[in-house]
Structure 1
Amino acid sequence: MNNALDVKVGLKTLLVFLRPYRRQIIFALVALVITAGTMLSVGKGLQYLIDEGLTSGSQAGLNKALLVFMGLVFVLGIGSFCRFYLVSWIGERVVADIRQSVFAHLLTLSPSFFEDNSPSEIQSRITADTTLLQSVIGSSLSIALRNSLMLVGGIAFLLVMHFKLTLILLACVPLVVVPVIFFGRRVRRLSRNSQDEIANVGQYLSQALRHIKVVQAFGHEDHDVTRFSGAVDKAFTVSVKRIQQRSWLTLMVILLSMSGIGVMLWFGGKSVISGEISPGDLASFLFYSVIVAGAVGAVSEVMGDLQRAAGAAERIMELLKAKSDIVGGTLAYSETTTDDQAQREEGKVLIEFDQLTFCYPTRPDRPALHQLSFSIKQGEMVALVGPSGAGKSTLFELLLRFYNPQHGHIRLANQDIRQYSLSALRQRFALVPQETVLFDQSVAENLGYANREASQKAIQQAAEQANAHEFIVRLDQGYDTRLGEDGVRLSGGQRQRIAIARAILKDAPILLLDEATSALDAESENTVQAALEPLMKGRTTLVIAHRLATVLNADRIVVMDKGEIVDQGTHAELLERCALYKRLADLQFNQAGR
């Protein structure tokens, strides 16, 4: 009972994806009913062929019976073609829709979700689990429905033909159904475990291949092979347990159903010998008995697939039901003030951090920021400096609303940023992250990520400003060269210049530069700095820098340590009064002078 309920729940979750294709489903069901009905009619055609053709001794009767039989076969073939095509199409289309919906939903979730849920494991759900659903929707479900119809129809024919023999046959049905329920429950549990273990294998494989240079640099190949083999063997062990349960299920179904047919043949043979029924009746009865037994066996076999599909649907729906803890407001940026011109004037406070306290979800007892407050004026260039872990990058992540602070507020143009829609808020910022993210697409597509409507000329101009054009044109296919996953074909400095060009192309009023030149050589750094200076003019710029030499000309330098502001001022002012800043400056400039 629980198995049927689990399957029902699993199928119910898919109903929303099936609804748009009601017409195709109706046609598929019509084809399914026709094929099931025709298959059942073949039994009567077989009876007619034997009694009216073979045993009658009439050539004309044989010809007529054979034509009827072949006509049924033709209808069965055409109906099966239509059923298979429509059901398979529905399966492929629904799974494509599920993948698109899951991916679109995942992109709305906050980064904290992916700290608790591995992207590799999620990838397994979108690929392996949806492939299983495709198999069930496009095949197993159709088989289950068709065989259920044939089971009911076959039993109906049997009852009409010979009530006594049918009762003998039906007496064996509970003996088949009970093992199906017993083993089916185990199959579903082991199927979920098997899918989880396969996901773990995929996760480990993805991590090792993505970081192959680190693996090889540390001579870690043998150790990783051993660990991967352990993960594979664990998945294999769980799969073998599931296979054993399904094998026992198949064995019990075959033994019990075929034994029932054997008993039925013994009784039926006695009836033919006594003249109670004709040979055609017995052949037809045997045909329907095989149909019924085969239907029971097929349904029991498919139940295992439906149980697995229920587990896969459950895993997929977990993703679709996940809620983001970052919810955007309704304001567009232009709605926040009645005097846009005044808001753009130099000297007006544009960004304000008010008593911010924030802990990352994975470190709830260690504040990354603690009661931090300061403001940034329109057009001002503010540099954030301090040791690693001071909370500098965290400010950027809060500004972009990747996370929400536990206490305090961030205001943009006098409005709490939670009031803005996420797209309107993030459209105001151009980010150059510390770790450059590039996609396995062409150079032009990676640059165009900032602005999908940008022309080829605008893309090239942005690359030239970021000192990237020269190395791009030297690539195999220039701007059409694919960069590989994570931009593996480029050096660190080249990747960073692509990221800077992308930020230039976005042309947002607020620049967020997180160690934007950290991977550049001195010559490239000077060139990029020269390109950034006119870009920053008239824009509000926040710069995170470990190299103090890159921010000496900042309007204000904010020194941070352990999530708090230690001091703020110009370079000269901080050298006089801030011990932490002076220590950082002495370390860098003294080392540079050696």
Structure 2
Amino acid sequence: MEGVDWDDDDPFEEQRDQVESPMRRLLFEYGRPYWVSMSVGLASSVLARALDLLPALLLAVAIDAIFGDAAFAEQVPLVVLPEAWLPTTQDGQFWFVAITIAASFAFGAIFHWLRNWGFNSYSQEVQHDVRTATYDKMQRLDMEFFANRQTGEMMSVLSNDVNQLERFLNEGLNSATRLLVMVLGIGLLLFWLEPQLALVSLAPVPLIGIFTYIFVKKIQPKYAAVRSSVGKVNSRLENNLGGIGVIKSSNTERYESDRVEDVSKKYYDTNWEAIWLRIRFFPTLQLISGVGFVLTFVVGGYWVFTGSGPGPFTGTLQEGVFVAFILYTQQLVWPMAQFGQVINMYQRAEASSERIFGLMDEEGRIERDADADRLEIRDGRVEYDHVSFQYDDETAERIIDDVSFDVAGGETVALVGPTGAGKSTVLKLLLRLYDVDRGSIRVDGQDIREVSLSSLRQSMGYVGQESFLFYGTVEENIAYGSFDASREEIVEAAQAAEAHEFVQNLPDGYDTMVGERGVKLSGGQRQRVAIARAVLKDPDILVLDEATSDVDTETEMLIQRSIDHLTEERTTFAIAHRLSTIKDADQILVLEGGQVVERGTHEELLANAGLYSHLWGVQAGEIDELPQEFIERAQRRQAQTELEDDDD
């Protein structure tokens, strides 16, 4: 079966490759507004970790001074305090140490709470801003962008990649701060207590740095591949769930399960490569860190019970200092082992940031001028002046080639022609879903590229073949885009669209939930809700894109009545395969190969005996009377369409 190649590279790979310093950009562009919560988190983390180091120092004091023979005031941890503050009796010294340890735990708990508040607040705010900014950018991109992307891939960026940032901004930054404070703080304390033994305890640090550097180099491309494979899984699932009706009616559940299993297995294999690297790296770090602990115990213990330094070590080592070294070295093992986890979270976040900013840096073909004037519609006159358009691929053929026509205000113009003639593209250019490559489109003399995009689209109403309804009530879907409309105005719009009667018969009337994409309504009902939406908007220019092509004859009659009401006294463009629905149009444009090949009224075009009359003959069932040339051209067009579908 031909279709999407799920083994293709990441669709955002080109954008990712152009992103520079994604993590710095994340922190400075989106983290800067929340510097207060970040500062509280960082400062509290530093103070909390510093207080975590105090009990071991005080324990050393207690062992050497209170329970031993050393002078209390001469203990290293206490030399920073005025001697007048220090008690002189053994009981006083005992309670001084006990109260200080208790105070360190109490204040430590407060600072731990502030740390958690700061980092969580910061990460949630940044995550929220990144997600909303990414979505806002995404929805403003050209339709061409969406035509080349799977919805699941974009959902993966908005959901999985953005969520990945939250873990690093909270847990990652928190762990990094803890690691920095613990390693630097413990290192300084060890050198302060006994520089010679500190060299033994910290000997594994350079080796850990080397192993971490190797890990970073190997894990970075693997995480990029994992993020891409997540997007592929989401795309497959989204694609299948969206087409669940086709799957069931085609009895292809087993086939689709196999396809989901295949793409899931590819994700499994890609993710397992990264996991396998991690599960080898972290135990190695812990083992190296443990070596420092064992060396400290062996060298320090031998030093204490022999009374003199082994080998090159000189002087004596007090029991309390030795206990402090053991406790600090044990505390050092876990942060050093966690260093790999911090790097791991950073690499994941960086891979996600590249995809996020790659999307946000996507350049659209439609230029938006924030200072552009609003479109002012007086008569609704529309002019296409030598308009040409092709998609971004320079090798692609022109979809629209030198099209020119004028539409007077209030006229109804129909666009007809074979499949692939460019009818829908002509009207998408009017809505500026794409921008023309050559020529211009003017509304009442105003080039639509020189007016604000919002005012242009606000002046137009669009009713398509597949009317999309949002999950919500009938009322909410009719009022979409006219959010301040009253219930009375909504009912009036529904009545004008021939929708009021069926809406009243729904279980909850206008408050009935339509289901996802309006699945609880029939095709004709969805169309009439969409027409009611356009009626409520009261646009100056109306665009109808095959609004009745997929409904039965009776429903078509009802929809056509509502359309006739809607098109009164407003400029209307209509695309139709059923020519009977547009035969009363003021002007009919016949397109073929992206060009206007005929124009006129229904009677004039029939009299010309050209393409329009042949299309009319097809729908009238006069197949045997069609010229051979028309049939051969239809066969060529069909073959070309199938070829383009296979290429896609």
How far is the alpha carbon of 1:37 from its aligned partner? 1.1
Matches within 5 A, 1:161-176: 161-176=193-208
**Pick aligned residue for 2:414 from 367, 383, 389:** 383
User: Identity of paired residues, percent?
Assistant: 32
Distance 1:431 1:410 in 2: 18
Distance 1:109 1:367 in 2: 21
Structure 1, 482-491 or 357-366: larger mean CA deviation = 357-366
Distance 1:476 1:363 in 2: 53
Does 2:217 align with 1:217?
A: no
How far is the alpha carbon of 1:412 from its aligned partner? 1.5
- Quote the residue 2:164 is aligned against: 132
One-letter amino acid matched to 2:325: F
**Pick aligned residue for 1:397 from 399, 409, 428:** 428
Distance 1:573 1:256 in 2: 89
| 8 Å CA contact retained: 1:151, 1:291 | no
| 8 Å CA contact retained: 2:494, 2:500 | yes
Distance 2:238 2:63 in 1: 63
**Coordinate RMSD, CA, aligned:** 2.2
Normalising by structure 2, what TM-score? 0.85
- Quote the residue 2:44 is aligned against: 31
**Pick aligned residue for 1:263 from 281, 289, 295:** 295
**Pick aligned residue for 1:230 from 237, 245, 262:** 262
Which digits, 9 at most, give the CA deviation of each residue in 1:422-458, with x for residues without a partner? Answer: 1111122111012211111222221111312211111
- Quote the residue 1:299 is aligned against: 339
How far is the alpha carbon of 1:141 from its aligned partner? 1.0
Matches within 5 A, 1:338-487: 343-344=378-379, 350-361=381-392, 364-487=395-518
| 8 Å CA contact retained: 1:360, 1:367 | yes
Distance 2:493 2:117 in 1: 50
Give 3-state SS (helix, strand or coil) of 2:31's partner: helix
- Quote the residue 2:185 is aligned against: 153
How far is the alpha carbon of 1:143 from its aligned partner? 0.9
Give 3-state SS (helix, strand or coil) of 1:65's partner: helix
| 8 Å CA contact retained: 1:466, 1:498 | yes
Distance 2:237 2:52 in 1: 48
Distance 2:579 2:20 in 1: 62
How far is the alpha carbon of 1:513 from its aligned partner? 0.9
- Quote the residue 1:3 is aligned against: none
- Quote the residue 2:608 is aligned against: 577
Does 2:134 align with 1:102?
A: yes
**Pick aligned residue for 1:553 from 564, 574, 584:** 584
| 8 Å CA contact retained: 1:95, 1:133 | yes
Does 2:325 align with 1:312?
A: no
Structure 1, 45-54 or 80-89: larger mean CA deviation = 45-54
Give 3-state SS (helix, strand or coil) of 2:520's partner: coil
Provide the aligned length of Structure 1 versus Structure 2.
577
Does 2:285 align with 1:245?
A: no
Distance 1:59 1:591 in 2: 114
- Quote the residue 1:142 is aligned against: 174
Q: Which consecutive residues of structure 1, in runs of 5 or more, have no partner in the other structure?
A: 1-5
Distance 2:482 2:399 in 1: 32
Distance 1:540 1:73 in 2: 76
Which digits, 9 at most, give the CA deviation of each residue in 1:163-213, with x for residues without a partner? Answer: 111112232211111111101221222111111111110110010001101
One-letter amino acid matched to 2:522: S
Residues 416/188 of structure 1: CA separation in 2 closer, same or farther (3 Å cut): same
Distance 1:375 1:285 in 2: 88
| 8 Å CA contact retained: 2:542, 2:572 | yes
How far is the alpha carbon of 1:472 from its aligned partner? 2.0
| 8 Å CA contact retained: 2:38, 2:122 | yes
Residues 560/7 of structure 1: CA separation in 2 closer, same or farther (3 Å cut): closer
Does 2:540 align with 1:499?
A: no
| 8 Å CA contact retained: 1:10, 1:311 | no
Distance 1:233 1:49 in 2: 59
Normalising by structure 1, what TM-score? 0.92
Give 3-state SS (helix, strand or coil) of 1:483's partner: coil
Does 2:546 align with 1:515?
A: yes
Distance 2:455 2:544 in 1: 20
Distance 1:243 1:86 in 2: 30
How far is the alpha carbon of 1:46 from its aligned partner? 2.3
**Pick aligned residue for 2:148 from 103, 116, 120:** 116
| 8 Å CA contact retained: 1:49, 1:66 | no
Residues 259/223 of structure 1: CA separation in 2 closer, same or farther (3 Å cut): same
How far is the alpha carbon of 1:144 from its aligned partner? 0.5
**Pick aligned residue for 2:368 from 328, 339, 361:** 328
Residues 41/85 of structure 1: CA separation in 2 closer, same or farther (3 Å cut): same
| 8 Å CA contact retained: 1:53, 1:63 | no
Does 2:98 align with 1:66?
A: yes
Structure 1, 151-160 or 240-249: larger mean CA deviation = 240-249
How far is the alpha carbon of 1:471 from its aligned partner? 2.1
Distance 1:9 1:394 in 2: 37
| 8 Å CA contact retained: 2:468, 2:518 | yes
One-letter amino acid matched to 2:139: L
- Quote the residue 2:228 is aligned against: 196
- Quote the residue 1:539 is aligned against: 570
How far is the alpha carbon of 1:76 from its aligned partner? 1.6
Q: Which consecutive residues of structure 2, in runs of 5 or more, have no partner in the other structure?
A: 1-18, 70-88, 308-315, 624-648
Distance 1:173 1:150 in 2: 13
Give 3-state SS (helix, strand or coil) of 1:449's partner: coil
Which digits, 9 at most, give the CA deviation of each residue in 1:329-380, with x for residues without a partner? Answer: 4443456xxxx7xx42xxxx81111222222346952322222111111111
Give 3-state SS (helix, strand or coil) of 1:408's partner: strand
How far is the alpha carbon of 1:544 from its aligned partner? 0.9
Give 3-state SS (helix, strand or coil) of 2:415's partner: strand
Distance 2:317 2:130 in 1: 54
Distance 1:494 1:441 in 2: 15
